[in-house]
Structures are given as structure tokens and as C-alpha cells.
A and B are shown apart, each in its own frame.
Chain A
Amino acid sequence: MMRRAKKPPTPRKDPPVPEALFQISEPGETREKAPCPPGMTRAIGIDLGTTNSLVASVKDGKPVALLDDEGEAIVPSVVHYAADGSTIVGKAARDQLAPRFPKDTIASAKRFVGRGPSDAEAQRKLTPYQFAPAAAGDPVVRFQVAGGRAVTPVEVSAEILRALRERAEAQLGEPLFGAVITVPAYFDDGQRQATRDAGRIAGLEVLRLLNEPTAAALAYGLDKAAQGTFAVFDLGGGTFDISILALENGVFEVKATGGDSALGGDDFDRAIAGHFLKELALPEDAGGDPALARRVLDAARAAKEALTENAVTSITLAPGNGKETTVSLSRTAMEALVRPVLARCTGPVRRALRDAELTAAQLDGVILVGGATRMPLVRQFVHEQFGREPLSDIDPDQVVALGAAVQADLLTGGTGHGDVVLLDVVPLSLGLEMMGGVVERLIHRNSTIPCGAKQTFTTYADNQTGFDLHVVQGERELVDDCRSLARFKLAGVPPMPAGMARLEVTFLVDADGILRVSAREETTGIESSVSVKPTYGLTDEEVERMLLDSFAHAEDDVQTRQLAEQRVEADRILQAAMAAMAACPELLTDDDRRRIDAATRALEAAKAGTDHGAIRRAVEGLDAASKDFAARRMNRALEQGLRGRTVGAVEAEVEKSEAAGDLASRLERAGHAGHSHR
């Protein structure tokens, strides 16, 4: 299949293969490896979930989940830390140890990955964990566990990955080539990096991090050779993701993504647990008793699962006062508790469809992912939302791991699924701060990566010798409401009148989602650039909140933006008037001066207020007051034989006061809201 290239080097035509694999498949290599069972590859796919994790591998061209001795595919994402320093992962940790040692048994660690101690997740009331006191400047959450240890979420994840690796090695032969690990589409750069680190700590070669919905589509797409447009509805333990993907001729294109990173089966459990606590007349934080919190949450989960099959279930709880209490719950009552939580999926679904410019009816199918989609209520909800029966022929708990195994197989040039490429998108818009604190977006949310954008800016004030570039991320109109990514300066621009310099700014987002910004002043050739990771340290809560805020505040934003813009315009025109009066005092009659002074005062007064309309009228007033003066200046400029831009500039100023131009600009701004957030 592969030849060692002679000089000149010949690129391989096969799918990309890691160098390590390339070498060990060379004939004559001495590094003999344990053989695989026939038909198996040694690249694995791992679904590292909030509640459960799985490992899968491709066998005879088909992905299969790797099972434990008892025939179980699922490994609960629960790690117990014993006082002697040993760890226990999975079912035993969840079922036996978590109830007895709630503080030392970490579940849902994924919710804390890449988070700081002050994040909402670490501040939740109903939690069985004890967090280690945060050292000053420590950006990472730590769980205080038995044996005096404080472990990070990355370490907890690594324990789970290690358990999965051992299972895979036992079945496939030592060692593995590498693994593809899935992450939620919404995971930011910091969280992805943390997941990668966990893989490394677990002794895995992480070939690629793959978005969970894409993995699900990969599992369906390649097994069934599907073509068309699909929605992936992924309701897991801790996160909800909705993605719209187009599958065609070996290209998986992510059309849009959305979701709610704080919504999942755990939230259903929490809603049900809240109900139980109320029934038991206990406070909603379980009186700060971690063991009780754990028991109530487990009881809630057990009740929820039982009610998938049965109409009524009863749960026995020991609130801690020695007495046991039995509470019964019907499916109807449980669904009433869960429904308000589930309703939060509606907005993200609609926005994702809108971003993809599709209606539910135009989809070819809806893929269900995540254990929570087993609930009859959730299936019914999906049916209502999309007007069709969702696809669920692949086990929703396994589908992500199976897709990851397919991708691992592809990357290691396995059994040959053909040429497949995944086209991913930017999750949040990227832009620059403009005068007045408004955002100019250069790259819009859901643009296919890698992508670039170029825009030319100019100076605001006369003799401005530098530019401060402030790169921001988010969907809101004002810089203060967006996330700041980077600041840099372009200095050394020679003094020029305002509007003469030409600053060309280029944004480039590569296939890994990393942004590079460069700026170049064209008249001088001065350049500067900076590399930023667009989502570094940004939690997915923040991503979600920023997205939601942009919709909630679309109206306010327009008002604020108009005010900010009018104030900038006012400053510009005040400066221009002052500069012109200083430059050509001999062209100024007493009458001019009196009128311009009055109009200037009126504009300054309007600028101090918050009525953008008043500012605009005052700007017009100053324009009108200085019109004769401007005309004389233009005449003189023409007489002096100045041509080109100078005439154009004066002309433009005169033109500004023309009714049509002004009306056009008003309409332009009035229409900004709808346009900008779409």
C-alpha cells in the first residue's frame, strides 16, 4: 500500500496516517506488536460522557462497542478515590461506593473540566462534593477526596480513560495505535485541551477530538450510506446539543450548532430529587448533607429509569433520621416535573434550524443521541419539534462511541470507508472594537472553517499615529457584552488627516479553530499580528449565555448602538468644525462664528443626553450652520488647484446634509438590529 518515497519525495495518496503507524507497518521493522484479532484495528473511539463512557472499535468494517466480562458496554463515568490512594472506576464506584463515600466518589466530572472555582457549576447548592480551597490565581476546580488528595477534573477523566484503555487493550492486543475522543460541539478550546490532556495522562495517543453529534452522524452515515440533511438531537447526562449536518458524497458539513450546556438527564434527576426532598419536608440543599444529596439524586435517577417501562414506581429513602420513607411517583407526575426542563430545548432547536436556513420539514431525519433520549417523553417531544419519528436504530448510548471508532479507523487508514471529510464551523462570531465601543463582526458564527476575512479601517482623529486593535467574540452589539480575546497595537503611523490612513485587518481561523489576526497600514506598510485562541478559557455556559443574551437584548442593543454611533458622529463633526475654524479663520464671518458656536453648544448638550435622535438633529444643525463656511472652503480649495481626495472630502461633507443621503443613513441604522444578529 505504501512505499518509502525516493527523492524527490512523493506525497502519499492514501488517507493521512500518523507517522508512527506508517513506520510500524513497514516491512522489516523489528518492533513487533501483539497481533489484533482478525479483522480488528487497534485504533479506538471513546465517548467520554458526563454520566457514562464507552469504547468502541471497528471490526470487519463495522464499529462495535467493546464489552466487559459481564457483557456491559457502558462504564459509568464515576471514579472513587480510596483512602489508600487506589481508585475504582465504573459501576462499582457508582453503585456501591458513591452512596457510602459521596465526597470521595466523583461523578459528572466532565461538567467541571476546564472550569474555575468560581464557576456556577462549582457553586451549585445540591452537590455531594467538597471542593478544595482555591489557591490564589488557581484557575482549576479541585475535588477534595480521601487520603488528603485534591484531584482535578482532568485527572478524574484520565482515570475513566485509563479504564477504557485497559478494556480495549485486553481485547485488541497491546498497545493501541491511538484513540479518537469525542467532545460536545460546544466545548471551548480550554475544555478540548483539558480532554486531550486527560487522554495523555491515561497513556493514550489522541489522534483527534471529534464533536459528538458529528460522531453520531458518522455512525449512521457510513453504516447506511445516508445522504441528506440531518438533525442530531443529543440529550446526554449534562449537556444538550443540537446540530444540523449535511451528508453528501463523503462530505459531512456542519450547517449549524446550538444547545444548552447546562441541560441534560442530570437536570431531570435534579428536578425529581427536588420533588422528593419536598415530599420529605427537607430543605432543597438536603441540609448540606452530601450523603443524603447523593442518595436522593440516585433515587431520582432510579425512579426516572423505572418510569421508562412502568407507569408508577416507588422509591424508599432514608433521610438520615433513622426512619425510612417510601415515596411513590407516577410517570405522569414525573413528566410534569421534567417537561419544563425539556422545554428549554425548543429555543436552541429553532435557532439551529434558522441558522442552517432550513425548516424541520426539509430535514431527512433526526438522529437521537444520549441516554436521556430513551425517555418516552423526550421521544414524543422530538417528534413534536421535528414533525417526524426520530431515528433510533443505533443504541443512543453507543452511537457516539461507534462514530468515534469509525473516525479512528479512517484516520489510521483502516478498512477503507472511502474518502470522508468533516467541515466544521465557528461557534461564535469574531470581530473588532470600533469607536464608541461597538463591535464590527468580521467572521460570523457558523462560518465553515478554515476561513478568513479582510476589512479596511481608517483613522478617527487627525494625526492619529496608532491603532488599538481589540479582538472580541460574541453575538452582541457592544464590546462590553462580548468576550475579549486579545488586544494589540499598531503604532508608527505617520500623522495624517483623519480618514486618510488605510488599515487592512485580516482574520484567519484555521482548521483547529485557532484565530490569527494581522493588521497592515497600507500607505506605510507597517504590520503587526497576534495569535489568539478564540475560545480559550471560555466556558460553554458563557458561550450559551452570550448566545441567549444576544437574542434577549437585540432590541436594547440597537438603541445603545445607535446612541454610541451618534455620539461618535457628534465628536467627529465637532472636531472637524473646530479644525476647519482653526485652519481658515479668515473665511469665517462673525455671523458664521455665532451660528457655529450656538450649534456646537447645542450638539454638546445633546451628546450629554441619551436621545440618539436629538444628537442626530444637533449634528444636522451644526452641518447646516457651517454650510456657508464649508462652501467657501471648498471654493478656495478648488481655486488653489487641489484635486482628487480633498475635493471629494469637502464634497462629501456638503453632501451629508442632503435630505436623501441623510434619510438613507437613518434607514440604514434603523434596520441594523435585525440584520446584525442573524
Chain B
Amino acid sequence: MICWSCEQEAGAAEKCAACGALQPPDLAADHFTVLGLPRRFDVDAKAAEARFRALSREIHPDRFATADPRARKFSMQRTVQLNEAWKALKDSIRRAEYLLSLDGWEVGAESGASRPGQGGARERLPVPPALLGEVLELREELADARAEGDDARVQKLARDVRQRADEAMANVASGFAAAEAATDRARALEPVAHELIGIRYWRRFLDEVAVHDEAREEAADTPKGSARA
């Protein structure tokens, strides 16, 4: 790459090796590349966060407030790209879904998952009916417990579901590790996609519990009797 500012060889870093000017970003780069991480599920969270901060410090628009308009634009583009990459990779579920998407998978909402099949068609991976049945049952239990104001039962259900979610996440991690070594990667990723479908439902369930908890906390905050009375 030739530097836009000094017209010499800029090198591969964010800033020109010769003059230090901020270089345009590669807008097609994937999130792992943007953060300078290996493309795998297993990410050293601490190191990744340190990397995010270090890059932010280098390229943030505040650092280019008085720079050339082109450098300001590149700083803006790079920072948007960096923030987006960090958002997608710092959360393990988003990271897993993103990794699958790089292999052409889609772990979607209503219809389970899909991946590219033969001749451009998409091969579907439906939501297992057993899982749906289980989720429906748990939901009804949650609704009953909430209607009865039985917080202990809500919390027990939440613990159960949290455990399922944790187990599923552990399976996602081991699934990705197995896929690294597998000869048929597409087949090896199938169980990972299945676990992620499950995790979506567990997540939703736990979000609903969070709404419940918040409502309870909110009720507890309301001062009991006005001091003026």
C-alpha cells in the first residue's frame, strides 16, 4: 500500500511506516482481523480487551481532531469498524454466531439454522421439536409461578435454565475445538448450531426472569409510606 499522505510504502500497520499518517481501513476485513485475533472461538478475553483499548487509543477521532480531513475520515471509519468488531466478539454467543456465519451458516430466529447446501440452495436445520416442547413447558411453568407470585419457584426455574445454558455454551466451545481438527467441517459444526439454537431460547427465558426480577426490585424500592404523612 502506498501512503495517501507521503506517497511512500506505508506497510501493513494502521499508520504509515514512513510518515505515521493513518491509513484507510480495509472495509471488507472480518471482525477477527480488525482486532488482530486468530479466527477461532477460544479467545483470550483479557488480551482481546487490551487490544481493543490499545487500538482505540491509536485511532479514535479525538486523536485526529486537528488532522487532515482524510485522516479524520479514516479514523472515523476505523473506529466504527473496531467498535462493531469488539461488540460482536466480546460476547461469547455473538462470537459463536459470527464464527458460524463466516462458514456460511445462519443461526436465525424462528426457523432454526441453515447453511449453504448444494447448488446455491440452503440446507435447513430445523428447531428440534423436543426442544420446543421443553421450552414451552418451562415457559408455562414460569408464567404460573409469576402469576402465583412464587418467587422461589421462579428462581429455581432460572437456575435450571441457567445450567442448561452453561452446558450448551460448554458444548459450543468443545464443538468449535472439535471442528478445528475435523475433516468434514460443515458436519462438525452441526452440533454447534444446534446448541446455539437452544441457547437462544434459554437466553430469552432468562431475559423474562430478568424482567420479573426488575419488577420485584422496583416494587421493593418504592418508599414505604411518605415521611411527610
List, sorted by A's number, 30 A–B pairs whose CB atoms are closer than 8 Å.
Answer: A8-B5, A9-B5, A9-B68, A10-B20, A11-B22, A16-B65, A339-B227, A340-B223, A343-B223, A347-B221, A421-B57, A421-B60, A423-B60, A447-B83, A450-B83, A451-B87, A452-B84, A508-B80, A510-B61, A510-B76, A511-B60, A551-B218, A660-B126, A661-B111, A664-B111, A664-B112, A667-B132, A667-B201, A667-B204, A674-B209
Judge whether A667 and B61 touch: CB under 8 Å.
no
Residues on A with C-beta less than 8 A from B62 are 16, 421-422, 511
| Interfacial chain B residues near A660, Cβ < 8 Å | 126-127, 129, 132
Residues of B within 8 A of A524 (CB): none
Total chain A interface residues with beta-carbon distance under 8 A: 59
- CB pair A451–B207 under 8 Å, yes or no, is no
The reply to whether A450 and B61 contact each other, CB–CB distance below 8 Å, is yes
A11–B20 touching, CB < 8 Å? yes
Q: Is B183 an interface residue (CB 8 A)?
A: no
In the complex formed, the residue of A with least CB distance to B76 is A450
Bound together, the chains give a CA A160 to CA B218 distance in angstroms of: 40
Q: Which A residues, 449 to 476, have Cβ-Cβ distances below 8 Å to chain B?
A: 449-453
| Interface status of A670 (Cβ within 8 A of chain B) | yes
A452 interface neighbour in B19, B57, B80, Cβ under 8 Å: B80
Query: Which of chain B's residues 30-80 have a Cβ closer than 8 Å to chain A?
Result: 49-50, 53-54, 56-57, 60-68, 71, 76, 79-80
Q: How far is the CA of A453 from the CA of B63 in the complex (A)?
A: 23
Mark B73-95 against chain A: 1 for CB-CB distance below 8 A, else 0: 00010011001101100000000
Instruction: Classify the interface of chain B: helix, strand, loop or mixed.
Output: helix
B166 at the interface (CB under 8 A from A): no
Contacting pair B110 A275 (CB below 8 A): no
A138 touches B (CB below 8 Å): no
Contacts of A675 in B (CB 8 A): 203-204, 207
Chain B residue nearest in CB terms to A9: B5
Nearest Cβ on chain B to A543's Cβ, whole angstroms: 19
- Which residue of chain B has its CB nearest to the CB of A335? B227
Determine the main DSSP class of A at the interface with B: mixed
Give the residue name and chain of the B residue nearest to A418 (CB): B57
Interface centre among A10, A449, A451, A667, by most chain B C-beta atoms within 10 angstroms, is A667
Closest to B67 in A: A11
State whether B132 touches A671 (Cβ < 8 A): no
> Which one of A248, A450, A451 has the highest number of Cβ atoms from chain B below 10 Å of its Cβ?
A450
Q: Does A24 contact B (CB under 8 A)?
A: no
Determine whether the beta carbon of A253 is less than 8 Å from that of B208. Answer: no
Q: Is the CB of B226 within 8 A of A19?
A: no
- Is the Cβ of A339 less than 8 Å from the Cβ of B223? yes
CB of B66 within 8 A of CB of A17, answer yes
Given contacts A450-B61, A551-B214, contact A16 B67 (CB under 8 A): yes
CB distance from A346 to the nearest CB of B (A): 5
Chain B residues numbered 1-38 whose CB sits less than 8 Å from any CB in chain A: 5-7, 19-22
Check B19–A11 contact: CB distance below 8 A: yes
**A250 contacts chain B at the CB level, 8 A cutoff:** yes
Closest residue of A by beta carbon distance from B209? A674
Could you tell me if B79 and A511 are in contact, using CB atoms closer than 8 angstroms? yes
Q: Which residue of A lies closest to B126 (CB)?
A: A660
| CB atoms of B79 and A340 under 8 A apart | no
Query: B64 touching A451 by the CB < 8 A rule?
Result: no
- Interface assignment of B210: CB less than 8 Å from any CB of chain A: yes
Task: List chain A residues, Cβ under 8 A from B226.
Answer: 340
Is A327 part of the contact surface with B, judged by Cβ < 8 Å?
no
Which of B71, B110, B217, B228 touches A668 (beta carbons < 8 Å)?
A: B110
CA A471 to CA B70, docked complex, whole Å: 29
- A665 at interface by CB-CB < 8 Å: yes
Residues of A with Cβ closer than 8 Å to B? Answer: 8-13, 15-19, 22, 248-251, 253, 274-275, 336-337, 339-340, 343, 346-347, 350, 411, 419, 421-423, 447-453, 508, 510-511, 551, 554-555, 660-661, 663-665, 667-668, 670-671, 673-675, 677-678
B221, A249: Cβ atoms under 8 Å? no
Chain B residue numbers with a CB within 8 Å of A346 are 221
Q: Is the CB of A450 within 8 A of B205?
A: no
Indicate the member of A275, A452, A510 with the most B CB atoms within 10 Å. Answer: A452
Chain B residues 102 to 136 lying within 8 A of chain A, measured CB to CB, are 109-112, 126-127, 129, 132, 135-136
Which residue of chain A has its CB nearest to the CB of B221? Answer: A346
**Contact yes or no, A19 B208, CB < 8 A:** no
- Contacts from B to A (Cβ < 8 Å): 5-7, 19-22, 49-50, 53-54, 56-57, 60-68, 71, 76, 79-80, 83-84, 86-87, 109-112, 126-127, 129, 132, 135-136, 139, 201, 203-211, 214, 217-218, 221, 223, 226-228
A569 CB to nearest chain B CB (Å): 12
In the complex, chain A residues whose CB is within 8 Å of the CB of B110: 661, 664-665, 668
Chain B nearest CB from A457 CB (Å) reads 15
User: How many Å lie between the Cα of A382 and that of B217 in the bound state?
Assistant: 17
Q: Is the CB of A511 within 8 A of B204?
A: no
Given the complex, which residues of B lie within 8 Å of A339, measured CB to CB? 223, 227
Top 8 nearest A-B pairs (CB, nearest first) are A674-B207, A671-B204, A336-B227, A511-B61, A674-B208, A16-B65, A251-B53, A16-B66
Contact B20–A13 (Cβ < 8 Å): yes
Q: Give the docked Cα–Cα distance between A449 and B127 (Å).
A: 36
Partner of B221, one of A251, A343, A678: A343
Q: Are A249 and B50 in contact (CB under 8 A)?
A: yes
Pairwise interchain contact A673-B208, C-beta atoms closer than 8 A: yes
B211 contacts A554, CB within 8 Å? yes
In the complex, A668→B207 CA distance in Å? 12
| Chain A residues within 8 Å of B54, by CB | 249
Chain A residues positioned under 8 Å from B7 (CB to CB): 8
Least distance between A673 CB and chain B CB atoms (Å): 6
Pair A18/B66 contact, Cβ less than 8 Å: yes
B65 close to A668 (CB less than 8 A): no
In addition to A251-B56, A343-B221, A663-B129, 7 A-B residue pairs with Cβ atoms within 8 Å of each other are: A11-B5, A421-B60, A422-B62, A448-B83, A664-B127, A671-B205, A678-B210
- Chain A residue nearest in CB terms to B112: A664
Instruction: Write out the residue numbers on chain B whose beta carbons fall within 8 Å of the beta carbon of A665.
Output: 110
From known contacts A347-B221, A673-B211, A674-B210, infer whether A11 and B227 are also in contact, taking CB-CB under 8 Å.
Answer: no
Q: Do A667 and B139 touch across chains, with their CB atoms under 8 A apart?
A: yes
CB distance from B167 to the nearest CB of A (A): 20
CA distance A660 to B20 in the complex (A): 58
- Residues of B near A250 (CB, < 8 A) are 53, 57
Complex CA–CA separation, A677 to B50 (angstroms): 29
Asked whether, in the complex, the Cβ of A663 is within 8 Å of the Cβ of B132, the reply is: yes
Which chain B residues border A551 with CB–CB below 8 Å?
A: 214, 218
Give Cα distance in the complex from A307 to B111, angstroms: 64
Q: Are B68 and A11 in contact (CB under 8 A)?
A: yes
Contacts of B87 in A (CB 8 A): 447-448, 451
The answer to whether B132 and A664 have CB atoms under 8 Å apart is yes
Q: CA–CA, A675 to B208, complex, Å?
A: 8
**Interface contact B56-A423, CB-CB below 8 Å:** yes
Return the contact of B208 from the options A12, A411, A423, A671 (Cβ within 8 A): A671
Partner of A16, one of B63, B80, B111: B63
* Distance of A16 Cα from B75 Cα, bound (Å): 13
* Residues in B whose Cβ lies below 8 Å from that of A447: 83, 87
Tell me the bound Cα distance from A422 to B6 in angstroms.
Answer: 29
A275 and B54 alpha carbons, distance in the complex (Å): 54
